[in-house]
Amino acid sequence: MEKLFGFVVIDKPPGLTSHDCVNRLRRVFGIKKIGHGGTLDPSVTGVLPIAIGNATRLISYLQGSKAYTGTIQLGAKTTTDDMQGEVLSSKNWPILSKDNLNNLLENFRGEILQRPPLFSSVHLKGERAYKKARRGEKFNLEPKKITINKLELVTWSPEEGEIVLDVDCSKGTYIRSLARDIGETVGCGAYLKELRRTKAYSFNENHLVLLPEKLEFYPEKIKPKILKPQNFLKHLSSFKLCANEELLSWRSGREISFKNNVERLQFPNKNEDSICENKNILVFDHKNEIAGIALLSTNLTIKPKIVFNAIG
């Protein structure tokens, strides 16, 4: 039986946690080794990459920003910075033009410091912040450095006080915090009303499939297509193993030298200044299947870090 290996990109429906989606796919494929590539709150929809089988070991090597389309409601503050929380205060929003809003949004573009929501999974003295918040404890979270690559005003409804934004941001960015801080800058408070993730790493809406229905048995025809991991690891340099002895050495966890054959190392772009800049190397076998991840040494050898189908 062929081993299941790759990524499924679920269009996460509202009301389910990311872990709920993982559990559903465990039943669909009949294996336990499945994990997601980035938590989404239950109310959030959109791109949820899920690694199948040994592809779970590749999640930490994914690279790229996250992108969202979010609706921000001006005029109120909530405990959770979204519509799931209790309203703390409300106030009429001011009359704003699109130019006014765009000028205001400039404060949030680029590298900024952002304070995570109190109801978040941030660790504080060995405990998740949301657990302390649920108990009504008073505490502060330290601002963290994040990057907003793009912050584009899509629509503004002065009558409803609703702002729709397209956001492209670095890992660790909270769109709920962005909504809260925009409300503070406007002076009337705000919370995140709706959110959809449109991109995570190299996964986007073109890769989406629907989460299979909750069934007792899953016929083959409704199982989602598993995408090859190499399509989403193109930022890594690559190395192809020769068959027989070299492949055996790799599977046994031994270093492989290519001093006399440097061209075997392929770079993600042609402007690579040094062959040692990208230390993590994606290793392929002679059949162009992923054999694992290696660490590139300065003496022109690759040292196994992750070996699939290892022996010994």
- 82 has catalytic annotation: no
Helix axes 98-105 and 175-186, enclosed angle (nearest 10) = 120
Q: Which of 11, 41, 81, 285 is catalytic?
A: 41
Q: What are phi and psi of 264, to 5 degrees?
A: -70, -20
Residues 169 and 198: beta-carbon distance below 8 Å: no
Question: Which residue is it, tokens 């990109």?
Answer: 9
Helix or strand holding residue 245 (H, E): helix 245-251
Please tell me the predicted confidence (pLDDT) of residue 276: 47
pLDDT by position in tens, the chain (length 312): 458 999 999 999 999 999 999 999 999 999 999 999 988 999 999 999 999 999 999 999 999 999 999 999 999 999 999 999 999 999 999 999 999 999 999 999 999 999 999 888 888 888 988 898 888 888 889 999 999 999 999 999 999 999 999 999 999 999 999 999 999 999 999 999 999 999 999 999 999 999 998 887 878 878 899 999 999 999 999 999 988 889 999 999 999 988 877 888 888 865 444 444 568 999 999 899 999 999 998 788 999 999 999 986
What are 4's two structure tokens? Answer: 């299941």
d(CA 289, CA 308): 10
CB atoms within 10 A of CB 154: 11
Phi, psi of 220 (to 5 degrees): -55, -35
**Helix and strand element counts for the chain (H, E):** 5, 20
Task: Name the helix (H) or strand (E) containing 290.
Answer: strand 290-296
Amino acid present at 39: T
pTM equals: 0.91
Residue 69's pLDDT is what?
Answer: 98
Comparing CA positions, the residue from 299, 305, 311 lying closest to residue 283 is: 305
Comparing C-alpha atoms, which of 146, 145, 80 is closest to residue 117?
80
Domains of the chain: 5-64+202-230 (3.30.2350.10), 66-199 (3.30.2350.10), 236-307 (2.30.130.10)
**Which residues are bridge partners to 53 per DSSP?**
5
pLDDT at 277: 52
How far is 244 from 44, CA to CA, in rounded Å?
48
